[in-house]
Amino acid sequence: MRGISTGSHWGRWVLIAFDPAEPAWLRCLPFTVVLTASAAVIPVVGLDVLTPGLVAAGVALAVALPLIAALVPWDRSPAPVGLVVPILQILALLLVQLGSDASTGLVAANMLVPIVVLAVDQGRRGAVVASIGALVVTATPLALDTHDVDPGLAAARCVLLPAITLAVALAISEVVDRLEQRRVELERANARLATTREWIVELVNAAPDQAVLGLDADGVVNLCNPGAERLLGRPAEEVIGRLHVDDLGPPETARLNLDAVPEHGEVQDAELMRPDGTVRHVRVWTFRSPGLRDDPVPGFMLMATDISYEVEAREMQRQFTGLVSHELRTPVTSILGYLDLLRGDDDNLTEDQRESLGVIERSARRLLLLVSDLLLAAQVDAGRFRISVAPVDLVGLARASVAAATPTAASRGITLAADLPARAEVLGDFARLGQALDNLLTNAIKYSDRGDTVTVVVTQDESARRTRVAVVDTGRGIAADELPRLTERFFRSEEPTVQERFGVGLGLSIVATIVSAHDGRMEIDSTLGEGSSFAVLLPTDGPAAGG
């Protein structure tokens, strides 16, 4: 019965007798006080003391019980030994009753303590012992004819008081069992909760590269793990309770709107200001932490990862891409210009010279296509990529791309074919769509072998107002696990046969960028050993934003 609250010191003192957590001698005191007081008021209320020696013996036994209880090692004794004190209490009550003309009400009042103690400590066994004790206390005076009581009433008392005692004791025992079960379950739940909390704390603290910050409902930091200390450049004691989330970033940056954080959280890139003035770029996942039942106001959790090196690498890559593309474009354009001059004197060239010029031109144009891809990538990174929308003849565009790729395909023994309608026109950027188709053709030729066929197929669905341009090859095919990554920038297959071919992994990512700008989509289908199909689906009426 641990934790019982009565709201008064008197009630708490009385309930000491029923609390197994209290010392045994202390639990005896309420009965001793009550029985001693009852014996003292017997003559006061007009009852007779028939045998003073028995009354004195009963009181003496009650007074001696705390001392007896203090001497017994209860924690090392068998459970049945716990019956001794309540039985002696019943015996003390019986002695007082035999030595006086005590009423049934007085007996019942004094029986309360041993009954409850037996039920609480001994369960059903204690309930039976309490019932027997009630029978003994009730029947013994009648059997010894010490009280002048009507036989019928005496018989009723001998039946009712033990029966009521048994029922009450069993009910108390059942309640105590349920409370004990709940207590055990609660202790287990608390233990699991404590273990989970320790595990979570250890997990949070063990994440060296993950900064975890807890915020209260007002945005003030109330949790800071070691990863956050390293990222912020401040010890936890300088952060917890002192810093607001708005104080974490540079003054000129946008503030985090905690009220707008969705239920499932959100991820965004931000900046953190360190005490030395340096700024770290971070990717932050912000989500709401649920409040407790007695404190329904939720807080927030911030999990931040330092992406400063990633941001710096992207910037260096952007600068390098722009620099290389601009530095390469001028000499490649010059090479192509001189090739045109040499071809102008074609009559004086031998067949070997013409073939050599063809090789040079194909290589230069391949390099120029790479430069165009690099320039487009730089424009995308800088946010300057735009398209100019105008009517585009896809049939003519496809024929031009096939014609431009034919020399390269022929030199490798690859057949180029085109399946084109009489007319197919869309609204789009002629140069960018041509670049996308050139990339698809170049990619298909690059990864096809002698004897394979590459076909350009253009179809137009007038009812759906969509146009499909597909480049289908009978080449080697692509592994299924690599298909989702084909449009990633600089991705190249790990297959040795792919690695041996020239390429930087930009072509398909450029195609995806151009198609996306036209509000279109790509469809890629491939089977190892059978070939691949790269299709571009474009809205016939052009992008919704008009470029």
**Distance between CA 433 and CA 540 in Å, rounded?**
13
d(CA 419, CA 416): 10
264: pLDDT strictly greater than 60: yes
Q: What pLDDT is attached to residue 48?
A: 74
| Percentage above 90 pLDDT, the chain | 16
**Nearest CA-CA partner of 282 in 240, 318, 319, 232:** 232
- In this structure, the dihedral spanned by the alpha carbons of residues 367, 370, 376 and 377, taken in order and rounded to 10 degrees, is -140
- Consecutive H or E run containing 232: helix 226-232
* Averaged confidence pLDDT in the chain: 81
How would you label 177-213 residue by residue, b for 16+ Cβ within 10 Å and e otherwise? eeeeeeeeeeeeeeeeeeeeeeeeeeebeebeebbbb
Could you report how far apart the first and last alpha carbons of the chain are, in Å?
Answer: 77
Query: What's the rounded Cα separation, in Å, for the pair 14 and 35?
Result: 13
Residue 472 has pLDDT above 70, yes or no: yes
Q: How far apart are CA 212 and CA 82, in angstroms?
A: 54
Phi, psi of 384 (to 5 degrees): -110, 10
Asked if the model's pLDDT at residue 69 lies above 90, the reply is no
* In the block, residue with structure tokens 């055990």: 184
The helix/strand/coil state of 248 is coil
Comparing 140-154, 271-285, 336-350, 370-384, which segment has the lowest mean pLDDT? 140-154
Instruction: Tell which wins on pLDDT, 328 or 127.
Output: 127
- Residue-level pLDDT at 522: 93
- Whether residue 91 contacts residue 53, with contact meaning beta carbons closer than 8 Å, is answered with no
Angle at 448 between CA 442 and CA 449, to 5 degrees: 135
Least confident residue range of 64-68, 291-295, 348-352, 533-537: 291-295
Per-residue pLDDT at 14 exceeds 80: no
Q: Report whether pLDDT(148) > 90.
A: no
**Residue 151: its pLDDT value, please?**
67
Average pLDDT over residues 109-113: 78
- Average pLDDT (275-283) is 88
Please state whether beta strands 425-428 and 210-215 pair in parallel, antiparallel, or not at all (unpaired). unpaired
pLDDT of residue 150: 64
Question: What does DSSP say about strands 415-419 and 299-306: parallel, antiparallel, or unpaired?
Answer: unpaired
Q: What Å distances lie between residue 359 and 231, 355, 366, 476, 498, CA to CA?
A: 55, 6, 11, 25, 22
Beta-carbon-side half-sphere exposure of residue 170 (alpha carbons within 13 Å): 8
Average pLDDT over residues 408-420: 92
